[in-house]
Amino acid sequence: MVRLVVATSAGLNHIDVAECRRRGVAVANAGTVFSEDVADVAAGLMIDVFRKMSAACRYVRQGLWLTKGDYHLCSKFSLSPHNLSQFLISSMAATDEQSQNQNVPQVLLLKPPPAFALFGDEFFSSNKFRLLKAYESSLPLDQFLETNAEYIEAILSSGGASVTADILQQLPLVRLVVTTHAGLDHIDLAECRRRNIAVTNAGNIFSEDVADHAIGLLIDLLRKVSAADRYVRRGLWAANGDYPIGFKLESKRVGIVGLGQIGFEVAKRLESFGCCISYNSMKKKASVSFPFYSNVCELATNSDVLIICCALSEQTHHVINKEVLTALGKEGFIVNIARGSIINEQELVQCLVQGEISGAGLDVFENEPDIPGELFALDNVVLSPHSAIFTLETFRDLRELVVGNLEAFFSNKQLLSEVVYD
């Protein structure tokens, strides 16, 4: 008497379709109900593999970021890591010997850049200048600067090294500060302006990588990719059954805090997933049609997800606090790929532990690499070791930009990414 077989799956490999046809039995399946969810997970897994997100999350949770340093480089999709590694090595080798020339201008390097641990100490080498590495000297910094002040004409800031008014006052010949970061919160811009010192930063070369990472963190959060990865690796799928379900990305209301270049790249990607975008920024952008909120709390109230993309400043320090998180609500998620101190970390941890928000994807923290221990116990938190920019392709571009800025300066040419003072 059977006239209908209904399958809850899209596939029909578990049904004898030929026999159903012979008996005149109708067959119904799930159609395309699962298509968008499966596509989201496919995209999430691809980002996870290329950006090593689940592996990096395990690395952080095991306390290895604190004890062993930065996690491994990842890759974009355009060039193979092998070819890029060879490119970087050959580029450095070409200038290594020439950079030892003692007669070229000297550039102060206060701390070793992360790139040195990955590619060696000649990563930023050139025949146009020589790096003077303060961290290799046994002298106290003040004494080192006093001893070498007459030779230093530029400063390369990397690895979190601050360029303060005190340092600049000890180096009267300095006319250029080059930072490997996009943000400028570690440089005393007012003092640079007063002394007529040019400043260059990383420009927009990190924007695409950071935006990809933000989307990866968001999909990871909603679809519980890294948490499910740990579940499977522990053998719990076989022992305890299916992992808890996640949430759909399509139609999520995503509020972007800071619609600069990175925020704009995030918005572009989210549009392709069918998300509803709104934003908060220093001012309304005439070039975009997304709804604008001048108040971050109002943005949070009207969002399912907040993605933090703004620069760190006095105005944005702890701008994401308990009030904003409460406005986001118990079903809300937050992703931070900007700076740790933009969020009041203590209040965020409290909200996560008490279930005041649904989850967080964090690439940055207030006291890196020291992370609040409470976060390690939470499966609704994705932890990333400040690695949003850690791709081989971006390090290639960064080397070209940093070296290019310094060579242009010492050749009296136009700088490649000069910061325009407000």
Active site members: 339, 368, 386
Strand partners, 26: 4
Backbone angles phi, psi at 116, to 5 degrees: -65, -40
Mention every residue, 6+ apart, whose C-beta is less than 8 A from residue 89. 119
Q: How far apart are CA 343 and CA 116, in angstroms?
A: 30
Closest C-alpha to 286, from 259, 253, 315 = 259
Mention every residue, 6+ apart, whose C-beta is less than 8 A from residue 299. 255, 257, 278, 279, 280, 293, 306
- Token pair for residue 358? 């649904």
Q: How far apart are CA 262 and CA 249, in angstroms?
A: 20
Backbone angles phi, psi at 302, to 5 degrees: -105, 25
Query: What is the edge-to-edge ordering of all strands in the sheet holding 106-109?
Result: 130-133, 106-109, 152-157, 176-179, 198-200
Q: Give 88-97 contacts, CB < 8 A, sequence gap 24+.
A: 88/119, 88/123, 88/392, 88/395, 88/396, 88/399, 89/119, 91/399, 92/119, 92/120, 92/122, 92/123, 92/125, 95/122, 95/125, 95/126, 95/127, 96/122, 96/125
- Token pair for residue 326? 């409460």
**Helices (DSSP H) in 170-313: which residue ranges?**
189-194, 207-223, 225-233, 236-240, 261-272, 296-301
Closest C-alpha to 70, from 8, 119, 34 = 119
3-state secondary structure 210-230: HHHHHHHHHHHHHHCHHHHHH
